[in-house]
Chains A and B, each alone.
Chain A
Amino acid sequence: MRFVHTADWQLGMTRRFLGAGRVGQAVGEAQARFAQARLDAVAALGRVAGDEGAAFVVVCGDVFESNLVGPDVVGRACEALRSVPVPVLLLPGNHDPADASLVTRRADFVRRCPPHVTVLDTPGVHPVAPGVEVVAAPWATKRPLSDLVGDRLRALEPAPEGVVRVLAGHGAVDVLSPDERNPAVIGTAECRAALADGRVHYVALGDRHSTWQLHGEPRIAYSGAPEVTSHEETDPGNVLVVDVGPDGAASVRPVRVGRWAFTREHALADSDDDLAALDARLDALDAPERTALRLAVEGTLTLRQRARLDEITEAHAPVLAALEVDLSGVVTRPDDADVEALGLSGFAADAAQELAAAARDDADPAALDALALLHRLAVTR
């Protein structure tokens, strides 16, 4: 039996660094493209499911970013679900718990929801096909007071003969988040035990946005988000195609569906050559329109080099989906040539010297800015 394991679609999510529209306006261009990319990822995993002949797709929580997403997000999500050719099971997670505001119980969702979509909003065993059962451990509130997965597993008897059971759960596992104060952490020991005695045959988890499998037990896995959501993620953009039999034999295969990249780059800038290299690196970026780059620059620059750096980053910013430059590692030390280049005389030269000295010796950012401004004013004279 083959199915597709995915999670954490988080439809309706926005990212600040992708830019904002003004208050009351539509979101920025990159933001809109990113939102569309996340819907495209759903369509892509639907194609994967169809191509692979999967029996169903189970989404292990956080289908929506929040229960309070707008009707437009819900509507587009339903359209994307419609394109999936196999049954889809949606599990409420911590972002969209099955409380009174559950989005999949909302009228706008119910009206547009395709018939092959099932919402696993009640805990327990859901038969999805002959010989196939899904055990749902949905979140009923944002703050559960127990290990929901463990609770479900403890309530189970071993699966009947010939029946494949998949547990769909959501939350952090104890090996990744050893937080004793959090009662909802999923105990992997219980999962292993359940797998061992045949209560379930696969534990499909959501919440972690990077693809991850428990060491030594590939049947306990996080699929990760199908499209990247954060610079912190290590391996996002995948779905898991899982083959599992009633005997417990399983194979798990990640398939990439995401197309965006949230990347971090680190650059050393101490000379004009470094700056040129940085420029070349940025030029060489693949698919920059789908890349949100966090660039951390480090080094010591003269005033002119610093201006060059600013010029380089400003030139690349419009091409990238987002470019965040962290200049906290850059030290700007105006040298005498910087001051002389201003071509000043008289008290203006004195003032320039004073500002340069303050910027150099006291690392006074305001003095540096003032010097830069003086540069601009002197040049446009």
Chain B
Amino acid sequence: MKSKVNLSSNVLQMKFMKRTAVEKQEELALEEQKHQIDNEHWYLDVDTEKKVATSGCSVIVEPSYTVFDGIGFGRMSFNGFNPQVEKIMKQINGEVEEKDDKEEKEIDDEEMAEHYSSSLGNTIGKKLGKRFFKMPQQPKAKRLAT
């Protein structure tokens, strides 16, 4: 469908265009009215008194048994047959095992501090020392020339 060519508001303001302007306004009003009727069409006139009477007690209808019987996830594995499923089971049952921090650490904090206090001088110290006494590199240009 071709879209209607609209005249600009400036043109419609001119004296000789008055008739068209009025026509256009009427058309718009008519369209709006039609639209309103369309919307109203879908609303049902409900008897308000009746509505109040029925909402005295609220009843919720639940079609599924899951809510009532505390029915859980149906996939289960026992004695480590499928570790993946057992992990999911634990997650769903909320049995989140707290990881023991102490057992996971293989090296003690103190041990580590001691180790580094003695070895730092040998490792990183050596590295730094080397850099200080490094011979300056030969200029690049010279190397390219040869």
A binds B: no
Using a CB–CB distance below 8 Å, which chain A residues touch chain B? Answer: none
